[in-house]
Structure formats: structure tokens, C-alpha cells
Amino acid sequence: MKTMKIPWCSGEREFQIPEDSLIWLAAPKAYPPALDPDKEILEAIHNPIGGPALKELVGTPKGKKITVVADDNTRVTPVEKVLIILVKELNRLGIEYGQITVILALGSHRFMTEEEIRQRIGDWCYERIKTINHAYDDVSQLVDLGLTSQGTPIIVNKTYYESDVSICIGNIIPQFIAGWSGGAKIIQPGISGADTTARVHLNGSLSWPQRLGNAENSIRYDMEEMALESGIGFIINTVLNLEEKIVKVVAGHVVAAHRKGVEYAKQIYQMRIGEQADIVVAGTYPGNKDLWQADKGLAAAVLMVKPGKTVIWGAPCVEGVSPEHPVLLELKDLPPKTVYGMCERDEIDDVVGATAHIMIGVMRNMANIILVSDGVSREECEALGFTYAKDLDAAVAIALLREGPDSKIGVLTHGADFAPVVETKEVSGK
């Protein structure tokens, strides 16, 4: 037997597969970090792509309200490192610390605690700058700007919208709703209202396999229209390596800078798969939090396995199925099109949660899924339509029994940060 391992929270989990069964080991490519990450950040800020310099945006600094929108702690974005350099640069341009507000782009996630906020932005910034959690379901903290050309409501954070200059800090990795994270995704869903996020997620829920790793798609265009219409001023996006160290930083216009960043990110996170496996063992790092986050790893895996064959979904889910979206479990294993119809008929209150159920349902239709998780019980697992296994070795045994002892096995280490280019299978949202 051959010993393999996948990341698991801050450690690793080992498992064994038959000696000659491995056909590929898929992982983000090992890239050296920038020699001087602080210099890389500052040079990106000083050399914006496709838009005006920060100095031009700030203009006369007196009385200006500056908003910095930053990823929350469910993302690996090095917010503290970028933020301290940005704040010092703003201060050099004449902006006082009291003029700056940081908004944590929670999307529909729970509020971060004060201790979590301090850890996220660092002591230096925490002691100088006001920081707030975005509340996606509090209408008093939102502003309605009408509809996009695709008919999506543009409802965003009021503090962000009313600021004179907005600067957004994100990170670029593969993402199965918008193709890639980063760019305008910090606005939608980062600081959008519930109705906006629900509509965007619903629009992309059945057809997501067409978009993973593709930045040019209707969902991203919709997000970018929202960002531009609401007045986004400047983005700073990082590209990280496997050790979560900065490789490149891009800054500037929300579209132009983002696409340049995607070019860099593809070199790390994209891999061609010429042969799909009978069994894929997929880790979901860094999507450790819950099933809501871990579905990113499953999305990559179901594209890499032969249709109807088996994926072993190694998902820690330290907070369970989804504390913020219990509807994910309440809907059990209902078919994705059934749930989609329920959303369209306003039969579900939490449409955002239901769209995750739809997307996972599409994945469930594409492959047989065995779930290995610390935070999801056997009862919950089976209610959602998955096969339960107590550990990865047990899951491999179940998979080999189903697919046969000579099955070809692929291992995907960092599933939530991976965009396979599959050359042998057509996918759809049936």
C-alpha cells in the first residue's frame, strides 16, 4: 500500500491506497514567495493597473471618508500585512487614522468577535482604526442602488457607499460561482445585502461547472457592474503560494487589475487533467470551517472524477454543516432543480443557504460522494445524500469495493484552491 496525505486544518491526515493505483497528485504548484513582500505590496499600490493612482483618488485629504473593505477570517488573505502598508501610505498622503473605517466583508458569515478582529487586522491597525462587521441582513446599514443590466438588485453596505474613497483588499484563488475570487467579489457577496447575494448565487447555482477557473462569465460581469455602480475606487489583490506567502500583488481598477492577477494565479492554481480518475480523494483546505466552505473542494473534485464514479470528500467542518445557514441541512437531499424552483416561488426564506444546497446537489448528481468529517455526523451526512465514512482509510475501502480493486485513484490536496482544466468530460448542471 502507498501512504498519502492531505491537509487537515493546521495539520495533515494520512491514508493508504493500493501501490500502483495513483494516476495523479493534484495540488497548487510550488512557487517561491516574493523576496520582499512589503515592497511587492507597496510597488503594486504605486503602480496601479488600469486606473488612477491612490494619490489622485484621495485628492485633497481633509475631511475625506476612506473605507477599506477587507476579507474576513474565513479567507487566507494576508489582510494585516496589506492593511498596515496601505494605512501608512494613506497617512503619508494626508489621511488621518480617524478618517479610515475598515469594513470586514463577511458576506453572510457570522460577525467576527473583537478578538478575531484584532487578530485579523493586527494590533497596530486595531488600536488606530475603526473596524466594523458587515451586516448583510440589516437594512439600516444598507443602500439600494437599483438593478444591474442583468436585473440583479444592487444593495450594498451604506458606510462603503457613502465614503469618498473605497479601497478593497482581497485574494485571488479559483472560485466556482464567479470563476475566481478577488476583484469585485469583495463587494458581492462581501458587503452586499441578502437579496443581492441570493439572486447572484441563484443565477449561478445550476450552471457553476461552466465557470470554475473562468473569469469571463456572466456572474462575474454582474458582480463587476455592482462594484462599479456602487463606486469602488481601488483594489489590492494578493496571489499566494501553497504556504500562503505572497507571490504577487496587483492593484488598481477592479476589472483590469483583477484580470492581471488571475494570469498570475493560473500559474499556481490551475492544472490540466488529461485522465479522470475512478476515485478522487479530495482535501478541502483551506475550506475547513463548515460544509458551506468545504463545497469549494468538492466542486473541483467532481470535475476530476469520471461521471458517476466516487469522490472521497475530506472536509474537517469544525463548525458543522453551516451554523449561519441551517437550511442547508433542513433541505436534506432534495434534488437541485426542486430546490431551485422552491427559491423562485419564494418558498424558502434563506435563499443564500439554499443556493449552496443546489450547487452541492449538482455535485451529488455528478459523482458518488463519501464524506469524511470531524464536524458532520453520520446522520447529517446520510440526510444530505452522502455515504458516511469514519476516516479516510475507511472511505478508500468503501470506494474500492464500489469501483473495483483496480480503480485509478487521483488525490487532490488543496481542493478549495484549485481549478482543474479537464479535457475529457463535458459537465452540466443537470
pLDDT tens digits, one per residue of 218-271? 999 999 999 999 999 999 999 999 889 999 999 999 999 999 999 999 999 999
What is the pLDDT confidence band of residue 427, given thresholds at 50, 70 and 90?
very low
Mean pLDDT of 63-89: 95
Listed residues 248, 268, 288: the one ending a domain? 268
For residue 152, the enclosing domain spans 37-268
pLDDT of residue 424: 62
Look at residue 407 and tell me whether its pLDDT is greater than 80.
yes
Within this chain, do residues 295 and 406 fall inside the same structural domain, yes or no? yes
Mean pLDDT of 80-85: 98
In this prediction the pTM is 0.91
- Reported as a single tens digit per residue, the pLDDT across 123-141 is 999 999 999 999 999 999 9
Domain harbouring 42, CATH code = 3.40.50.11440
What is the pLDDT confidence band of residue 108, given thresholds at 50, 70 and 90?
confident
Mean pLDDT of 142-171: 98
- Reported as a single tens digit per residue, the pLDDT across 5-15 is 999 998 999 99
Within this chain, do residues 340 and 238 fall inside the same structural domain, yes or no? no
Domain harbouring 333, CATH code = 3.90.226.30
Mean pLDDT of 331-350: 96
How far CA 242 is from CA of 15, 248, 315, 374, in Å, comes to: 21, 13, 18, 24
Listed residues 220, 246, 268: the one ending a domain? 268
Within this chain, do residues 11 and 81 fall inside the same structural domain, yes or no? no
Look at residue 425 and tell me whether its pLDDT is greater than 60.
no
Look at residue 366 and tell me whether its pLDDT is greater than 70.
yes
Within this chain, do residues 298 and 192 fall inside the same structural domain, yes or no? no
**Do the domain assignments include residue 430?**
no
**CA nearest 163: which of 94, 64, 95, 57?**
64
**Do the domain assignments include residue 428?**
no
How many independent structural domains does the chain possess?
Answer: 2
**Mean pLDDT, all residues of the chain:** 95
pLDDT of residue 74: 82
pLDDT of residue 376: 97
pLDDT of residue 28: 92
Look at residue 410 and tell me whether its pLDDT is greater than 50.
yes
How far CA 158 is from CA of 57, 144, 167, 170, 280, in Å, comes to: 20, 9, 15, 20, 44
What is the pLDDT confidence band of residue 430, given thresholds at 50, 70 and 90?
very low
What is the pLDDT confidence band of residue 110, given thresholds at 50, 70 and 90?
confident
Q: What percent of the chain has pLDDT over 90?
A: 92
Look at residue 426 and tell me whether its pLDDT is greater than 80.
no
